Amino acid sequence: MGKVITVNSVVFSYRLSLPPCLLIYSILKKLWEGEQMKVMKFGGTSVGRPERMHHIAGLVTNQGEPAIVVLSALSGTTNALVEIGELISKGDRNGAKQAIEKLEAHYQAFISELVAKPELLAKAKAILAEHFEFLTIILRISFSEALSKDILAQGELLSTKLFCVCLEELGIEHVLLPALEFMTIDNYDEPQIGSIKVKLTQQLQQHTNKKLFITQGYICRNAKGEVDNLKRGGSDYSASLIAAAINASVCEIWTDIDGMHNNDPRVVKKTMPVEQMSFEEAAELAYFGAKILHPASIWPAQQYNIAVKLLNTMEPEAKGTTIAGQAGSVGVKAVAAKDNITAIRIKSSRMLLAYGFLRKIFEVFEKYRTPIDMITTSEVAVSLTIDSTSNLKNILKELEPFGAIEVDENQAIISVVGNQVSQTEDMVKKLFGSIMNIPVRMVSYGGSPHNISLLVPAQYKTQLLQQLNRGMFGLE
């Protein structure tokens, strides 16, 4: 009897003390780590029109937890800035001047619909004046690589500043965090989360009572301290790096589609969003052609185990896709295509029973910093694919001594991605049933449990994606 009472009282006192314990723990955790925040990244089309900017102003407020909002440039802007840079580099200053004027006219029209209050319209005008004056001054400076990066940075600088004016008009309290003060890359163009974390935390600590932060995606400083960027589409990468640096609760990537789909909606009629996938599956899909997410943006989230959500700005209630540690289910999730692939076959009887042959071949690609995507071997030949042909001539020259070389340009990789793809019932049957009438050049199966890749001449891409949609997903 006594024993029972003792046990009960232990349970009782344990129950009593649990909530205060948790409370103290969470207070200590908050003091130690700072309050958890979320990251919300909006792409070019989400900010590309004045009414859309207003719409996302609504989405980013009342989030419950503090948020860092990462913005791309307005859609079309980075392309225009690339063109301006190219015209200047070619010495066509007149052409560049016209392109700058056209872009400025677009922004003038944009701000006239963005804000109504005269003092804020004046503020928006001053922002345009500052950035377009900069572009005009650049016309008189001699062109350099560093200058072209300065030109490219104007897009995100403009979008974030204009969004802040929009927030101001709506009376929404916010802070603009300049990405150039915390987002950095090293000598190898690699971002270092450690130093980003230190710098970003310093910035955030200056505004401890604030809940909404706005910053630029894509742009950063390089090891020389110059303005640089994380390559085209890099705003997703910025968002994921920021999420990792602040240990965010979630990294939301808002675009104009309701998540990652099972197939390319531009190529096949009927597609469906995938609700959940693992980091590995998402990495394969992003790398092998799904345009919704920059492939590099997976690793920071994966390393720090931060869920990435792909959401639709136009349909905020839609589930979208959650990318996290767990795959959700076993089986094939999606197919994606990667264009502009070059296949190289090296045939040599010296490969027969030899060792070290592959190493020597790989060394050539390593020397020219060219990644290999697919590889298949037979006893006397090896076939591999690359998507960067900037060093192809040199590579082929150095491969010559190894045997007969064949090169096929204009190929496409179609990847079937999922979790334990081989365990899907009838998978192989369905897959091979779907590739009928298509001259498949290479098949890569077993490299990872998440991917089967097929190489086909580019002109068969659409047909194969359609046949796979029917054969593997039962969608027309």
Q: Which residues on neighbouring strands pair with residue 346, listed in sequence order?
A: 382, 405
Query: What does the DSSP assignment read for 433-459?
Result: HHTTT----EEEEEEETTEEEEEEEGG
- Residue 370 interaction partner, one of Mg ion, ligand ASP, none, beta carbon < 5-8 Å per kind: none
Question: Under the rule (CB under 6 A), what is the footprint of ligand ASP?
Answer: 43-44, 72-73, 78, 155, 217-218, 232-235
Cα 399 to Cα 393: distance, rounded to the nearest angstrom: 10
Cα 288 to Cα 295: distance, rounded to the nearest angstrom: 9
Nearer to ligand ASP, 30 or 291 (CB): 291
- Residue 278 interaction partner, one of ligand ASP, Mg ion, none, beta carbon < 5-8 Å per kind: none
Cα 261 to Cα 273: distance, rounded to the nearest angstrom: 4
Cβ 149 to ligand ASP shortest distance, Å: 12
Cβ 275 to ligand ASP shortest distance, Å: 24
**Tokens, residue 371:** 């990644």
Cα 183 to Cα 195: distance, rounded to the nearest angstrom: 9
- Residue 217 interaction partner, one of ligand ASP, Mg ion, none, beta carbon < 5-8 Å per kind: ligand ASP
Nearer to Mg ion, 69 or 455 (CB): 69
Where does 115-192 have alpha helices with state H?
Answer: 118-138, 145-169
Say whether residue 217 binds Mg ion (CB under 5 A): no
Cα 128 to Cα 158: distance, rounded to the nearest angstrom: 7
- Residue 78 interaction partner, one of Mg ion, ligand ASP, none, beta carbon < 5-8 Å per kind: ligand ASP
Q: Enumerate residues 6+ apart whose C-beta is below 8 A from 97.
A: 136, 139
**Three-class SS of residue 249?**
coil
The sign of the torsion formed by the CA atoms of 206, 208, 210, 212 equals positive
Cα 315 to Cα 116: distance, rounded to the nearest angstrom: 26
Nearer to ligand ASP, 238 or 342 (CB): 238
Question: How many CA atoms lie within 13 Å of 241's alpha carbon, on the beta-carbon side?
Answer: 32
Beta-strand runs (E) in 256-307: 276-278
Nearer to ligand ASP, 184 or 235 (CB): 235
Cβ 238 to Mg ion shortest distance, Å: 11
Nearer to ligand ASP, 60 or 293 (CB): 293
Cβ 240 to ligand ASP shortest distance, Å: 12
Cβ 218 to ligand ASP shortest distance, Å: 4
**Only segment of 5-13, 230-238, 256-264, 270-278 that touches Mg ion (CB under 5 A):** 230-238
Nearer to Mg ion, 233 or 320 (CB): 233
Residue 143: DSSP 8-state: P
Cβ 80 to ligand ASP shortest distance, Å: 10
- Residue with the CB atom nearest Mg ion in the bound state: 233
**Three-class SS of residue 457?**
strand
Size of the chain in residues: 476
- What is the pattern of x (binds Mg ion, CB under 5 A) and - over residues 40-79? ---x------------------------------------
Nearer to Mg ion, 217 or 418 (CB): 217
Cβ 66 to ligand ASP shortest distance, Å: 23
- Determine the Cα angle at 264 with ends 474 and 276, to 5°: 75
Nearer to ligand ASP, 29 or 232 (CB): 232
Helices (H) and strands (E) in the chain, counts: 15, 16
Say whether residue 233 binds Mg ion (CB under 5 A): yes
Which has the closest alpha carbon to 397: 373, 374, 364, 371?
364
Cβ 74 to ligand ASP shortest distance, Å: 9
- Residue 234 interaction partner, one of ligand ASP, Mg ion, none, beta carbon < 5-8 Å per kind: ligand ASP
Cα 466 to Cα 476: distance, rounded to the nearest angstrom: 8
Cβ 217 to ligand ASP shortest distance, Å: 6
- Residue 117 interaction partner, one of Mg ion, ligand ASP, none, beta carbon < 5-8 Å per kind: none
Contact residues for Mg ion, defined by CB under 5 A: 43, 233
